[in-house]
Amino acid sequence: MAPAIQAENLVKTFGDVRALDGVSLDVPEGTVLGLLGPNGAGKTTTVRILTTLLRPDSGRAVVAGVDVLKHPNRVRSLIGLSGQYAAVDEYLTGRENLQMVGELYQMSVRDAKARARELLEWFNLSEAADRTAKTYSGGMRRRLDLAAALVVRPPVMFLDEPTTGLDPRNRLGLWEVIETLVEQGTTLLLTTQYLEEADRLANDIAVVDHGRVIARGTADQLKAQIGGERVEVVVHDRELIATAVEALKVYAVGDPSVEKNTRKITVPVTGGAKVLADVIRELDGRGIEIDDIGLRRPTLDDVFLSLTGHVTAAENGDENGDENSQGNDKGHGKGHGKAADTGTEA
Ligand SMILES: Nc1ncnc2c1ncn2[C@@H]1O[C@H](COP(=O)(O)OP(=O)(O)O)[C@@H](O)[C@H]1O
Ligand SMILES: [Mg+2]
């Protein structure tokens, strides 16, 4: 199927900062690409180029079949965007904000009202619907911003860190909304610092760091790429380690390794829980007593660490994942004073 989003070799510099150093990606129609990377990786810059808000120094991009650089206006009518440039009007209520977007896109007043009501419900904003947005918490604003992006059901959507700063309940709620959207056929490019989020929502993941895509694949492929699953067995009797290793070779897809001190044998395997059961039976059959056994699957955290040599900021003890609270090297100035707006809800 033709890609709904395609970028070729995008380069963008800001002064000395090479924000994008040749980003290429494609998103087949009806699928979700997760652009996963730490603060400053180039995620927002990529999204801004693909949504016509920023021109690249070089490279090419096509969205919904339309050249982004040649026909930005046409692209704008085919996409939805939500993220770090909120379009919420402070002095209107939540409901009015959504209705206004509908009417702006030429929906009938009746349809705009119905869509607003539906979205307010989806985003858990019904109770606050008739208060002005200025009274909303940071998380509520973010949800309203997302709802606004969904009013017209565009065929291609860009969500830039949609759940950063949301509390766990609202994050889950939003994941469900996004899943519904995708079921209805929307193509989605989603940026995130949360490995869990990419794992759950994305068909494909592109890991970005320092303005480049450094790995690409499904979550499973990325995990397999760094070594896949392994069974870890702690043998009770040190003398039987060698026998156990021999017995386990049948199940190994690579060389088993042994830590003599802890009596732990690690065996690369494929096949998950079934292999685990087989291994237990095999060892039991040979009278080899075990103290502990487990199946270990690499997480996306392992993947990220192994690819970049560092963990993502969001997983690194910063619950908010709020970009302003990071010691990042952003040259452009959203001040620290803004952190309270986008932080976790009270
Ligand atoms: N308008 C800008 N002016 C100067 N530097 C910028 C600007 N926008 C982004 N950058 C820099 O480009 C790099 C990538 O930023 P960005 O795309 O916002 O990353 P991410 O969204 O992954 O956190 C960072 O080093 C950032 O400081
Ligand atoms: Mg960003």
70-81 residue pLDDT tens: 999 999 888 888
Q: Measured from the CB, is residue 313 less than 6 Å from ligand 1?
A: no
What homologous superfamily is domain 5-223+308-340 in, according to CATH?
A: P-loop containing nucleotide triphosphate hydrolases (3.40.50.300)
Q: What is the mean pLDDT of residues 279-288?
A: 94
**Beta bridge mates, 18:** 13
Q: What is the mean pLDDT of the chain?
A: 84
Check pocket membership of 170 for ligand 1, CB cut-off 6 A.
no
42 lines ligand 1 (CB under 6 A): yes
For ligand 2, a single-atom ion, the residues with CB < 5 A are: 43-44
Domain 227-296: CATH class, spelled out: alpha beta
- What percent of the chain has pLDDT above 90? 54
Q: In the predicted model, is pLDDT for residue 327 greater than 60?
A: no
Measured over all CA atoms, what is the biggest interatomic distance in the chain, rounded to whole angstroms?
Answer: 80
Ligand nearest to the CA of 41: 1
What is the domain partition of the chain in residue ranges?
Answer: 5-223+308-340, 227-296
The larger pLDDT score, comparing residue 140 to residue 234, is at 234
pLDDT (0 to 100) of residue 310: 67
Task: Confirm if 47 and 159 have CB atoms less than 8 A apart.
Answer: no
Q: Is 85 in the pocket of ligand 1 (CB under 6 A)?
A: no
Above 60 in pLDDT, residue 333? no
Q: DSSP for 276-333?
A: HHHHHHHHHHTT--EEEEEEE---HHHHHHHHHSS--GGGTT-SS--GGGS-----S-
* The predicted structure's pLDDT at residue 143: 87
| Polymer length in residues for the chain | 346
Ligand closest to the CA atom of residue 212: 1
% of the chain at pLDDT higher than 70: 87
Helical H segments across the chain, by residue range? 43-50, 72-76, 94-104, 109-122, 138-150, 168-183, 195-201, 219-225, 241-248, 273-285, 300-308, 339-342
Instruction: Give 8 or 182, the one with higher predicted confidence.
Output: 8
Q: Is the pLDDT of residue 206 over 70?
A: yes
